[in-house]
Amino acid sequence: MLIDGHTHIVSEESPWAQYISAPTEELLRQMDAADIEKAVVLPIEPWISVSSVAKACRAHPDRLIGFASIHFTPENLCTGDLGDILERQVNDFGFRGLKLYPRMQISLRSPQIYTLFSKARVIWGSDFPDPILLSMIT
């Protein structure tokens, strides 16, 4: 079985839609052309929303695997527990991993990241950090 471990979809409501056309149907066509059976679909909050990824994964559960994403805003850094945000996304959308994009979202040196990683370990157990996909672009 071939699984593409890093894909994105860009819905019409995304700020990136004016620059990129990457609807779910196009991803599925490309997967079929390359004989790829499943793909991990990665949001990058707030640019590619978790809700658009969840919608695509719900429509194609046999083909698409969704990951969570958290945009580290001053509000959720100060008032919200990042682990709780992750847990809600996993419970509400059935996401099976976490996509972080440190260059655009948060430094991995931030103290709040430990709360998030602790919750990920509770959710995914001793396999952590395997469910965590870190895009480290320098």
Alpha-carbon span 132 to 68, nearest angstrom? 10
pLDDT band at 77 (very low <50, low <70, confident <90, very high): low
Is the per-residue pLDDT at 60 higher than 90?
Answer: yes
Domain that holds residue 51: 3-134
Which whole-number Å values give the CA distances from 88 to 6, 15, 35, 93, in the listed order? Answer: 22, 24, 33, 8
Higher pLDDT, 22 or 62: 62
pTM value is 0.82
Contact criterion met (CB below 8 Å) for 41 and 75: no
Alpha-carbon span 82 to 34, nearest angstrom? 37
* CA end-to-end distance (rounded Å), the chain: 32
Q: What is the pLDDT of residues 80-120, one digit of tens each?
A: 678 888 999 999 999 999 888 777 777 677 777 777 888 88
Is the per-residue pLDDT at 35 higher than 70?
Answer: yes
Residue 62, domain CATH: 3.20.20.140
What pLDDT sits at residue 18? Answer: 72
For the chain, the domain total comes to: 1
What pLDDT sits at residue 65? Answer: 96
Is the per-residue pLDDT at 128 higher than 70?
Answer: no
